[in-house]
């Protein structure tokens, strides 16, 4: 079977290409083949209803067949009702809906998805606040002046413009100490953890300590890379770093020092120093997940642990909270000894972080727009935090709110044993909220009942309804 392919000017898509299966291109079979091919294209919807076909002269020229042959094929299909021909309007596909091709098996219909009415799940920002206009302006400036080779395969560590902008921004805003060469562009914290997990196994690490409460996907990524995870207890001062001394097999520890996820406490300064001492003493690595470090509401902000020990700490960050999860854009700042290895690892196997978004984020940062956006959102989320704390104090005095000094979520502690009942009650109210249990390490004791309430999630119009639903829910 020989295929031919012609360019059909289509009213829907000017200049579109159309591919036709014409079978053997010779003799009387040709007209029949053309009829069959056009009919098939209409029937399966590849030629859309109402779209205009080329003149018989030009389609004939494209396919290398006589004009008359095409004209006859068109007439036949008009007679069959697949095409219409009107003086001055050319030959067009008829408006009736084509049958679907029988050969394609019926597939599963996509599940109807209607989100919950109220959404207070943690881990996402207010999507309506994504700064579209500023993003587009930055994209225009960035793409306008990028060199041609920016659109090539590029270095696995990412675009130099972005690595430099990130090094400067993180130094200024988070106390991170690193040169651009230590920055690897990632598609988020999870991606960074995956890259580091591979580096750790290559170094011979077998076990990673993780906080007793944390994202299950992060634990899973470590395990998928062949590592074991052991939980560190978490209390009001954060992860119990001293427990590492009794874990000689542990080669790395994954922490959320600025705002423990999900309990919300800051890692006590003594423990930050202890983590660094542990790493220096044992040669272990600290993996610092700074997922919401820009969002701090009190007077005593917490800089990155990385600034205390650039040689021992891998600092992971993301635009998932400050801009939007959909960008899939983050960074890893690595000890100099690791940076080249991790970049190479990324380049061999991962293809992430398209260049357009990298250039745009770099421009957003260097122009100051990113900083201003973060400040705006910080103020907005602080107001929500205040409204939440106030509403709960007023309406649900039994619920104790903690971890409120930063980030986009709080922990609402519940009376012992109440968590699953409250979660069930939430489902009845069509309120999506997460209990603490889903974040607990499988080997950690169930030592408290709580809800993890993400107050950034609702759009401005949905906020008060969500807050009311939460207050109705809690004792």
Residues 297-356 that bind a copy of itself (CB under 8 A): 299-303, 307, 310-311, 324-329, 336, 339-340, 348-356
Backbone angles phi, psi at 133, to 5 degrees: -65, -40
Structural contact between residues 382 and 406, judged by C-beta atoms closer than 8 angstroms: no
Cβ of residue 126: shortest distance to a copy of itself, in angstroms? 9
Cβ of residue 401: shortest distance to a copy of itself, in angstroms? 23
b/e 9-25 (16+ beta carbons within 10 angstroms → b): bbeeeeeeebebebbee
Name the residue among 252, 335, 267, 336 with its Cα closest to residue 304. Answer: 267
Q: Is 154 in the site for a copy of itself (CB under 8 A)?
A: yes
Q: Which of residues 387-446 bind a copy of itself (CB under 8 A)?
A: none
What kind and span of H or E run contains 175? Answer: none
Q: Is 280 in the site for a copy of itself (CB under 8 A)?
A: no
Q: Return the SS3 of 226.
A: coil
Mask 10-49, x = binds a copy of itself (CB under 8 A)? Answer: ---xxxxxxx-x----------------------xxxx--
Distance (Å, whole) CA 217 – CA 235: 22
Q: Is 114 in the site for a copy of itself (CB under 8 A)?
A: no
Mask 357-376, x = binds a copy of itself (CB under 8 A)? Answer: x--x-----x-x--xx-xx-
Cβ of residue 351: shortest distance to a copy of itself, in angstroms? 4
Closer to a copy of itself by CB, 180 or 233: give it. 180
Q: Which of residues 171-190 bind a copy of itself (CB under 8 A)?
A: 171-175, 177-179, 181-182, 187-188, 190
Q: Which of residues 253-272 bind a copy of itself (CB under 8 A)?
A: 269
Cβ of residue 243: shortest distance to a copy of itself, in angstroms? 22
Backbone angles phi, psi at 234, to 5 degrees: -120, 125
Token pair belonging to 73: 């094929």
Cβ of residue 155: shortest distance to a copy of itself, in angstroms? 9
Closer to a copy of itself by CB, 88 or 105: give it. 105
Q: Which of residues 59-78 bind a copy of itself (CB under 8 A)?
A: 64
Structural contact between residues 196 and 342, judged by C-beta atoms closer than 8 angstroms: yes
Structural contact between residues 234 and 240, judged by C-beta atoms closer than 8 angstroms: yes
Residue span binding a copy of itself (CB under 8 A) among the ranges 96-104, 245-253, 415-423, 436-444: 96-104
Q: Which of residues 195-234 bind a copy of itself (CB under 8 A)?
A: 217, 220-221, 224
Cβ of residue 415: shortest distance to a copy of itself, in angstroms? 32
* Distances from the Cα of 21 to the Cα of 7, 13, 390, 405, angstroms: 14, 20, 69, 65
Structural contact between residues 365 and 169, judged by C-beta atoms closer than 8 angstroms: yes
Among residues 103, 112, 204, 443, the one that binds a copy of itself under rule CB under 8 A = 103
Question: Residue 303 contacts by C-beta under 8 Å, 6 or more apart in sequence?
Answer: 174, 175
């Amino acid at each position: 079977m020989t295929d031919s392919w012609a360019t059909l000017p289509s009213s829907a898509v000017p200049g579109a290409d159309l591919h036709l299966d014409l079978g053997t291109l010779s003799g009387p079979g040709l007209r029949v083949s053309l009829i069959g091919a056009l009919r098939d294209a209409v029937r399966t919807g590849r030629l859309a209803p109402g779209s205009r076909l080329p003149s018989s002269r030009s389609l004939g020229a494209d396919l290398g067949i006589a004009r008359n042959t095409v004209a006859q094929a068109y007439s036949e299909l008009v007679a069959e009702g697949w095409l219409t021909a009107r003086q001055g309007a050319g030959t067009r596909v008829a408006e009736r809906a084509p049958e679907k091709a029988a050969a394609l098996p019926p597939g599963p219909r996509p599940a109807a998805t209607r989100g919950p009415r109220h959404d207070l799940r943690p881990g996402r920002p207010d999507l309506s606040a994504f700064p579209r206009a500023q993003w587009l302006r930055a994209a225009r400036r960035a793409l306008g002046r990028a060199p041609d080779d920016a659109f090539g395969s590029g270095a696995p560590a990412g675009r130099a413009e972005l690595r430099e902008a990130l090094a400067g921004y993180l130094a200024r805003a988070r106390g991170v100490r690193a040169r651009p060469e230590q920055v690897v562009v990632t598609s988020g914290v999870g991606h960074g953890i995956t890259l580091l997990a591979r580096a750790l196994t290559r170094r011979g690490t077998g076990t990673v300590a993780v906080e007793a409460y944390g994202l299950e996907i992060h634990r899973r990524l470590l395990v998928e890379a062949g590592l074991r995870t052991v939980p560190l207890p978490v209390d009001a001062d954060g992860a119990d770093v001293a427990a590492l001394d009794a874990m000689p097999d542990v080669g790395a520890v994954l922490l959320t020092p600025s705002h423990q996820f999900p309990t919300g406490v800051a890692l006590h300064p003594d423990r930050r120093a202890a983590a660094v001492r542990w790493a220096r003493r044992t040669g272990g690595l600290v993996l610092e997940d700074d997922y919401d470090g820009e969002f701090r509401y009190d007077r005593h902000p917490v800089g990155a642990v990385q600034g205390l020990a650039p040689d021992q700490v891998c600092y992971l960050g993301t635009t998932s909270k400050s801009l939007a999860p959909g960008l899939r854009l983050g960074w890893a700042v690595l000890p100099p000894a690791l940076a080249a290895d991790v970049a190479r690892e990324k380049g061999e196997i991962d293809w992430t972080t398209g260049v357009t978004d990298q250039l745009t984020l770099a421009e957003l940062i260097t122009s100051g727009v990113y900083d201003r956006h973060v400040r705006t959102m910080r103020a907005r989320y602080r107001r929500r935090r205040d409204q939440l704390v106030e509403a709960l104090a007023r309406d649900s005095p039994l619920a104790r709110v903690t971890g409120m000094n930063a980030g986009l979520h709080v922990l609402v502690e519940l009376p012992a044993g109440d968590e699953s009942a409250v979660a069930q009650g939430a489902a009845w109210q069509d309120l999506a909220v997460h209990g603490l249990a889903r974040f607990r390490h499988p080997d950690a004791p169930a030592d408290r009942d709580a809800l993890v309430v993400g107050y950034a999630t609702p759009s401005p119009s949905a906020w008060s309804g969500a807050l009311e639903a939460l207050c109705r829910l809690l004792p």
